[in-house]
Structure 1
């Protein structure tokens, strides 16, 4: 792990965003992030595991983020991939930090962004039938989440 990653890990560990915990995986280029579902959201009271995988050329390229916990969400594919556009991949510069992206993911749980949807079925349901969206999200939570 490079010095930049070490510094960022220490910063997030010592001053994590609300509802977030982090640990290093066996592979030092993977971080295991746990994000608590935000209050007022269908995800509240449940924890979601997100894997952050660093590229060889970090910080010049943004890490990949993927939900390991299956989730029904407009901005997450059924394979767990998070919408890179929403995370700011096009605007990524070496001065940006992982903590900022984690905060975006946490806020995305509170308020999905249907304009950056990559799960079109979930986005359509979120817009047109919120009660059915919430029902399906809860089904995923009951099946895949740990409290």
Structure 2
């Protein structure tokens, strides 16, 4: 039942215009971390049954080895700023902007989830922690967006 619910969530996120690249751990749908679930499916592909694999492949999900092979050539270009303005990052910035407007601070608890007006939920604490620890991989535009919201570590 959990698998089916998460599958429906992934399908809904994709139908809403997101790409698989946008659905990273921390992206939720109706309370389920669909990004984490999707990553687990690609990692544990061999443990899935034939029908689960077929359904995931229809959505464009592939086993982890295939995902890595597709991403490797793009990583060098990504550091230069190409393709790094993902929808997931934009949602995270929108959620942070909303949080700051309401709370007046950039201090966010790790478990805090921010609900956006479109109904999606962003695990804001996780978003900030992940981006702070990976700031060396962010584009200049992404760092500028975060610094513009008052995050000193992004300046």
TM range (shorter): under 0.3
Normalising to structure 1: TM-score of the pair? 0.25
